[in-house]
Chain A
Amino acid sequence: MMNCEEYLLQLNARHDGELAADQCAELETHLVECSHCRAAAEGFDSIDAELRVAFAPRRAAAAALTDRVLAEVRALADNSPTPAPAAPRTRLFGELSLADWGRTLLASAAGFLLAVALFRSSPAPQVNPGHVLTAATSAQPAGHVVLASGPVQMRAVNQIPVFNCPSGSAIKPASVVRTGDNARCELSLAGGNKVRLDRNTEITLHQPDRVEVNSGRLWAASKAAAPIEIVSYGCSIKSDSGSELAVERQPKSMRVVVVDGAVNLSTAKESKQLAGGQQVDVAEDQIVASSSENDPLLETAWINGMLAGRSSGRQEFGQRVQGLLAQVGSAKLSLLYEDELRRLGDGGVPPLVAYLKSTQDKPAEGQRIIAARIVADVAQPRRIGDLVVLLQDQSPEVRYHAARGLERLTGRDQGLTTDAWKAESTAEEREAAYQKWKEWWTANSDRYAAHSHANVLALAV
C-alpha cells in the first residue's frame, strides 16, 4: 500500500506524461479519497504553468544562442577543415575576420531579401476599417509561441524585418505570424486563450483578444472569462463564453467550425449564432450550412499531431481520441474516424490504453475491442509494457489483440499462441504466459529504444 509521499511522485510523473497507464487507475482511485493529493495535483498544474510562462524568454534566448554558435561553427568550417584551438571568447563579433564578416553579412542579406519576398508574395491582411489598431509599442506581449513543429516567422504589421520564432518567443500586439510548409504552431495568448496555426497559415495578432486570419487554418479556444474575436474575409466571429472553434480561410470564402460552446458570426449582410457541432461556409457575405460531411473532430484532426506526446496536451488529446473512438463502428463515415486514429500511430496509443484501463468493468464493450485492435497494429516497441499489462484484461478479444501486438513487435509468444489468448487457454496457462512476458520485458526492456522507466517499474510491482 503506497503512502501519499509515493502518490505525490506518481502525480508529478502523471502531470508530465511519464506515468505508466496501469498506474494511473490506482492513482485516480487514491485521488478520489485523498483531498491532500488532489490539492497537490492542482498545485503541480499551477506551478508548471507559471514556470512555463516564466521560462519562455529563456527558451527564446536558447534559440538565439543556437544561431550564434551555428554562425561561429560555419565560420570555423570556412576557415579550416579542422578548427584550430582558440582562446576563450567572451565576445563573438570581435574575433571574426573581415572575410568572416563579409560572408556573414552576405548570408544575412540574402536571407533578409528572401524573407521580404516571401512575405510580400502573400495577400495583404484585410483589416476591418472600423477597428483602430493599438500602436505596437506595448511592453506586454500579446502571446507566446508555446509549440512549433517547424519554422514560424513573425513581423510587426507594416514593417519589413522578419524574425524567426522558436518555442518560447514572445509575440507583440500587431504582429503577423506565419507558418510554412512544414510547421504548425500553438500560441498562448495573454488572458489565457489559445490558438493553433496549421501549415501555411498567416494571422495578424492585433491584440490578445483579436486575431485576424489572413490565410490558412486556425483553431482557437477561449475561456469563459476571456472573450476572443476572430476576424477574416470581412467577417467577425465573437466568443463571449468558453468555446472552441476553427476557421479556414480560402481566397474567396471562409469555413467556420464550432467544436464546442457558442459563437456569434457576423458578416456585412447577416449575423448568426452558432452552437457546438455546427459548420458553416461564408461566401459573398452570406452564411450557409457547410457542405462538409465531416464532424468537427475530423475537421480539426490536424491539431491531433500537436497534442500527441505533450504532457500539457494530454487531457485534451485523450478526450479527442475517445471522441474519435466513439464514432468508430457507429458513424456514417466510420472508417474516417478509424483512419484518423491509425494515422496518429504510436502517439495515439497512450490515450487508447488509458481508455482500456478505465473501462475494465465493461469488458465486452465494442469500442474496447476496436481500441485494442488499433493499439496492436500501431504500437511501437516502447509500448511493449502496456501490451503486456493488457494480457490480463477481462476481454478475450483485448487479450488476443495485445498478444498479437507483442508478437508483431518481438516475434515471440512466450509459449501461448495469439489465438489461445482469445478462447482456447485456461486461466492458469494465461497467467503463466503473462508472468513469462513480465520477466522477459523486465530483462529486455533496455534493448528497446525510448521506453519509459516508469513502464518497467509498472511491471516490477
Chain B
Amino acid sequence: MTADSDLVRLVQGGQTSAYEELVRRWSARILAVCHARVRSAHTAEEMAQEAMLRGLRAIGSLNDPAKFGPWLCGIAVRVCLDWLKCGQARQVSLEAMTDDHAENWLAHSGDAPDQVAAKNDDERRLLAEVAGLPESYREVILMYYYEDVTYADVAQVLGVSAATVNARLTKARAMLRERLSGLQR
C-alpha cells in the first residue's frame, strides 16, 4: 500500500488524483473528529467535507508529508471551531442534546425519515449518552466506532499514546454501561 507521504508528494507535484486515495483513507476519521466537536451528524458531514477540500487546497503548505493525517485533523478542528464561533452552533445547542433530540445527532441527509424513526429506543438512548460524554471520551468512542481502526490509528490522530486510547475507551465504555443501566456510583 502506498504510504500517505508518497501520495502527498504526488499531489504536491500536481497529480491531484492521488488525493482521492487519501480521502478514502481519512474521511471516516475526519468525520469522527468533526462529529466529536459539533455533535450534529449532518453538520459534521459538512464540516468534514469542507476540511478535506481545504486540505487539498492547502496541501502545498504541508512540510512533512508523513504527518498528513494529524495535519488534516488539525484543519478539521479549525473548521469546526470556526463554525462554532460564528454562531451557527445556536442551531443545535448543547441543551438540545437530550434524548428527545437524538435525531439531530443521528440524522444524515441520506436517511429516510422512516429509517431515522425506525431506530429503536435503545440505540437512540445509547447514541444520546455518547453525545453526553466528556469530549475526550466522546472523541475516542467516535473514532473507534466510525471505522475499523487500531489503538495506534486513533493515537496517531489524537496525538496521544495507545495506552491513553485504551484508558479512555475503557472509561468511556464503563460510563456508557453505567448510564444505560441507570446505576449510580
Contact = CB atoms under 8 A, between A and B. Distances in A.
A77 B169 CA distance: 40
A25 interface: no
B177 A73 contact: no
Interface stretch (A64-72, A290-298, A324-332): A64-72
Contacts of A457: 163
B28 interface: yes
Contacts of B20: 70, 73-74
B41 A453 contact: no
A109 interface: no
B166 A9 contact: yes
B64 interface: no
Interface in B7-21: 14, 16-17, 19-20
Contact of B145 (A55, A73, A90): A55
B139 interface: no
Interface in A61-98: 61-66, 68-70, 72-74, 76-77, 81-86, 88-90, 92
A62 B146 CA distance: 8
Contacts of B106: 57
B57 A86 contact: yes
Given A90-B46, A139-B115, A453-B161, A12 B28 contact: no
Interface in B26-60: 27-28, 31, 35, 41, 45-46, 48-50, 52-53, 56-57, 60
Contacts of A48: 173
Interface in A83-135: 83-86, 88-90, 92
Instruction: Tell me whether chain A's interface is mostly helix, strand or loop, or mixed.
Output: helix
A54 interface: yes
A157 to B, nearest CB: 19
B162 A18 contact: yes
A257 to B, nearest CB: 28
Contacts of B114: 139
Contacts of A83: 16, 56-57
Interface of A: 8-9, 11-13, 16, 18, 40, 43-44, 46-48, 50-55, 57-66, 68-70, 72-74, 76-77, 81-86, 88-90, 92, 139-140, 147, 167, 170, 310, 450, 452-454, 457
Interface of B: 14, 16-17, 19-20, 23-24, 27-28, 31, 35, 41, 45-46, 48-50, 52-53, 56-57, 60, 106, 108, 110-111, 114-115, 117-119, 122-123, 126-127, 130, 141, 145-148, 150-152, 155, 161-163, 166-167, 169-170, 173-174, 176-177, 180
Given A72-B53, A83-B57, A85-B57, 11 more contacts: A50-B126, A54-B127, A55-B145, A60-B108, A69-B23, A69-B53, A86-B53, A167-B147, A310-B148, A453-B163, A454-B163
23 contacts: A12-B166, A43-B177, A47-B177, A47-B180, A54-B126, A57-B115, A58-B35, A58-B145, A59-B28, A60-B108, A61-B108, A62-B27, A63-B28, A69-B23, A73-B23, A76-B53, A76-B56, A85-B57, A89-B50, A89-B53, A453-B155, A453-B162, A457-B163
